[in-house]
Structure 1
Amino acid sequence: MSAADPVRIAAIEAGGTKVVVALCDADGAPLEQARIATRDPQTTLAEVRDFLEAAQLRHGTAHACGVASFGPLTLDPHAADYAHLRRTPKAGWGGTDLRAMLPVNLRAAPFAIDTDVNAAALAEQRHGAGRGLASLAYITVGTGIGVGLILDGRPVHGLLHPEAGHLWPRRAEDDAFPGLCPFHADCFEGLASGPAIEARWGATLDALPPDHRAFDLQADYLGQLAAQVVLLAAPERLVFGGGVMAQQALFTRLRARAQHWLGGYVDSPLLSRDDFIVAPALGTASGVLGAFELGRDALRAGTEG
């Protein structure tokens, strides 16, 4: 890359129902963007590759790539299965090599991958609801439930990455629903994800009246999850996103139930503020912007190294 060569970064947000792929300029603005339905890996990833190849012909070669994907993922760059999906609930996707979907020129370029929720958390921490804070949790409630964590300005990795959506809640006494998670049945994802809501009530949350029992039960389970994340990681802000959280009526009840489950133990004035548990400031752009940030960080690391 020459000094006069404009920076281009490929950003891919791979979700359970759709993949958003963009070729971005140096500031993260998409030069061209597409939305691709998530089907089987071969078909879906071929469309991603075709888009990036064509977009680079029109706008210039990308110098780095960031991928934000549903998981679980192998994030250790030294592992033989780096950038592969592991035992995912998404049927047919286990073992998929996400780096292999890239055009040939990008497979050797600076590259970074993280979970979709870690990437969304990074974008919100840098540009959105957590701007100016060193720590943030991003909890997405949609097809699944995922939790991304930023501590000291960096996404949390370790054995793998946070998977707090698969913790278990304390069940409501009147809740006999068995849960949908293929691994744990009645974990948070199995009880409170979008598909779980529809299976339990026969309707999506937005089709139910705001005084329906579904809202109180949903707020209780998400309040438990919020309390557990606070007790475990102590982030300065919780951002709740995903399709289920489009129901704004949830937030007031969620804040109250989080306080209930914390039981007064965590003594911080932040907890009583309406800006402690919030919606994403970046809306639906958090994921792809987070993927861009991953790619830009990888490019900077490669340049500095």
Structure 2
Amino acid sequence: MAHLLGGIEAGGTKFVCAVGDEDGNVQARIKFPTTTPEETIAQVFAFFDQYQIEALGIGSFGPIDINPDSATYGYITDTPKLAWKNYNFLGALRDHYQIPFVWTTDVNVAAYGEYKKGAGIGKKNILYVTVGTGVGVGYISHGELYSGRSHPEGGHILMHRVEGDDFAGVCPYHGDCLEGIAAGPAVEKRTGKKGYELTPTDDCWQKEAYYLAQACMTYTLTFSPDIIIFGGGVMKQSQLFPMIRTEFLKLMNDYVRVPDLDQYIVHVALGDDAGITGSLLAAATVLA
């Protein structure tokens, strides 16, 4: 008998909630803006209260506390979204629903969705990078969501600058990190236009490709994944992919062997559904 599961993709700008089955097939969904915790969680409850879900997979914007031994496990911690700072997100859901939960990052559930049903099918080690409002990294290691003391924060690796690039960066913590100089708001601040308003040949994209290629080099040397999958709004610029592969080849300089680059640095296969699909598939892993 099919199980009814819940999934939440909790982003900094919007929440997506869905119910579906253990194969990640969505049966119903709702989307609404991320406002205050009180307003937003009320909408989450209003949606899921209509269904008898058996487990819930949650992928949240962060940073979040994913250490079960920590006093603040389940909290959103030092987020720039001040209303959500030190908010006990998982606790609010646990108080309302007495079911098993998976609690991880929004980018981790997207990685899991791609691993099970997207570009990562057949691969054991999947590195997923979202480049949008921010830059986030999720990693599947030998079929399992990777975490150490906390979850990866691969969007904040420091970058070696393109010569002459004196852009200050938009990250309030690190001017020279990948998120600070290559996320969507950085593209907009550099050019005065949103990414989708720029032409595919705009000079900005060459810098973007160089920084993303540099990130791919770092991730390759650190994690040695089978595939690097890019999602997020910025990566809908399809011209970036050949440019990233070219820059990556130069940067690596034949140091280590990697798969054919057309199959190694790729676009998300599930599109905007990677996260919500992955949250349902994650929920299936904790079914009693």
Q: TM-score range by the shorter chain?
A: over 0.9
Report Cα offsets for 1:28-49 as digits up to 9, x if no partner.
3223210011122221122111
- Please list the CA deviations of residues 259-280 of structure 1 after superposition, one character each: whole Å capped at 9, or x if unmatched: 2221211123x1x430111111
Residues 42-81 of structure 1: CA deviation (Å, up to 9, x unaligned): 211221111111x31xxxx111111011111111223221
Q: Please, what TM-score do these two structures have when normalized by structure 2?
A: 0.96
1:63 alignment partner in structure 2: 54
Within-5 A mapping of 1:154-169: 154-169=144-159
CA distance in 1, matches of 2:254, 2:79: 36
Superposition TM-score, scaled by structure 1 size: 0.90
Q: Which among 50, 63, 72 is matched to residue 63 of structure 2?
A: 72
Between the aligned partners of 2:135 and 2:92, the Cα distance in structure 1 is: 25
- Deviation sequence 1:132-182 (CA, Å, 0-9, x none): 110010000000000111111111111101101101110112211111111
Q: Tell me if 1:43 matches 2:39.
A: yes
User: What's the counterpart of residue 138 of structure 1?
Assistant: 128
Unaligned runs of 5+ in 2: none
Matching of residues 244-263 of structure 1 within 5 Å: 244-263=234-253
Question: 245-254 or 16-25: which moved more?
Answer: 16-25
Q: Partner letter of residue 35 of structure 2?
A: R
2:87 alignment counterpart: 96
Q: Which runs of 5+ in 1 are unaligned?
A: none
Structure 2 distance, partners of 1:135, 1:27, is 20
Q: 1:202 to 1:294 in 2, by over 3 A?
A: same
Moved over 4 A (4+): none
Q: CA RMSD in A?
A: 1.5
CA contact (8 A) 2:21 2:280 kept: no
1:232 aligns with 2:222: yes
Contact 1:36 1:48 in 2 (8 A): no
Q: Secondary structure at the match of 2:130?
A: strand
Q: How does 1:203-214 map to 2 (within 5 A)?
A: 203-214=193-204
Percent pairwise identity: 38
In 2, the alpha carbon distance for the partners of 1:113 and 1:146 equals 16
Matched, 1:290 2:281: no
CA distance in 1, matches of 2:43, 2:59: 17
8 A Cα contact 2:9 2:15, kept in partner = yes
